Chains A and B, each alone.
Chain A
Amino acid sequence: MYAYFIDDWVYNNHHRKLDRLDLVLTQKGIQGRKIKLSRLHDLGGSIKDCLSSGIKTFVAVGSDTTTSRVLNSMLKDNNFSFSFACVPIDEPRAIARVFGYGSMLEAVDALAVHRTSKIDIGLLNKRHYFVTAAVFPKKCSLGFKSYSISSLYRDHHISVCNSNIYMNHTTDYARNFDITDGVFEAVIARRPQVSFFDKMRGKGNDSVYIPETIFPVKSIIIKSKDKTLSVFADAEKQLTSPIKVDILPQMLEVIIGKDFYGSKQH
């Protein structure tokens, strides 16, 4: 049986999509319990309720923020086994893309097929879980056991990636980003320099970051002079510096779609 955690704003802004989702789920025969997530909703209590009813597949319906919220609540008491999935309704939907489905209908198809794989999960300061990547402010530096890495330029982008968040730029290193390999990639990306005249013409202002430095890591410490850092890990989080990032290999069982990329599929 399935439990669908539907975000509040989906009811308010996307009721037609929600009706369509309801219809498709009924057609596929994968209906389940629907839980509306309001801001002050007791998510832990709802999860315990579902577990006591024998539900083992949990689905977050909304965006990456919804998925991150549900996932963090579930993994806090991780002494039970469950399958996890998400249904993307609106942007950002990076987690859904990592799971192998970019749209609502593709996600429903994947739920019906119920093909699963175990993926790595990231952990920030032993408290916050993430799937895709943790993106840090520019002032930070990367610290390892015996060495540290700092950028020589100001306009850079520091991230610890579980999956490839630089998909818009096809690099030769794309194969390094494997969500099932038990290793993170610490990445420093840079924007290509734009000439003054190109800037005046409005070109290059929105140019993408290109990954330039890649380090495979299992554990890393991010240091900064600021005490509180705003980190984007699936959703925005405020964390105290230094931030320790750990990997939990093959921790989460997810329902995967046809576009899922992982070297270890079950």
Chain B
Amino acid sequence: MFDSKDKEAVGGFEMREEDAETIIGASVKVDGDFVSEGNVLVQGIVNGSLKTKGNLRVDEGAKIKANVDATNAQVSGEIQGNITVKDSLDLGSSAKVAGDIITKILSIEPGAVLNGHCSVSAMSEESEGNDQPSEIQKPNQKNKKSVLDENLD
């Protein structure tokens, strides 16, 4: 739907394979608390927790049973656990997420499965201290009626 340039324009990100410093291959299982400083590419299985100061890419076929922490993330595999992403989270069409998501920018492709709560807050640095949620706007009753009338006509 979007090419990479369009993705960058709407706030998404794309991690290429050669940008990855750590690669967890499809034939490998990682057990424990995995911590990294750079970009991580997951194609295999991770059990425990996964934290990186860089970007994360979870390819199709990868299975993560862990809480995930990253700066940016691009998910096409399965994640069972809470996801905390500092900037941008992309859920691809084959992504399956069972857990809560906290991020700044979220994009979900059609076909992605998400079971959990989502907290998306595009907060600027000035308003980061303000933890109060924004007021919920109720639909205007008058407008609702007029729309229904129009449909009936």
Contact = CB atoms under 8 A, between A and B. Distances in A.
A150 B25 CA distance: 11
Contact of A216 (B17, B38, B45, B48): B38
A150 B17 contact: no
A188 B31 contact: no
Interface in B1-55: 17-18, 20-35, 38, 43-45, 48
A190 B23 CA distance: 14
Contact of A149 (B29, B38, B43): B29
A149 B29 CA distance: 6
Contacts of A215: 22-23
Interface residues of B, number: 23
B33 A146 contact: yes
B38 A188 contact: no
B34 A213 contact: no
A260 B48 CA distance: 40
B63 to A, nearest CB: 11
Contacts of A156: 27
B28 A148 contact: no
Contact of A151 (B18, B23, B27): B27
A40 interface: no
Interface of A: 144, 146-153, 156, 172-173, 175-176, 188, 190, 212-216
Given A147-B34, A148-B30, A151-B29, 18 more contacts: A147-B30, A147-B32, A147-B33, A147-B48, A149-B30, A149-B31, A150-B31, A152-B44, A156-B27, A173-B18, A173-B23, A188-B28, A212-B23, A213-B23, A213-B28, A215-B22, A215-B23, A216-B38
Interface of B: 17-18, 20-35, 38, 43-45, 48
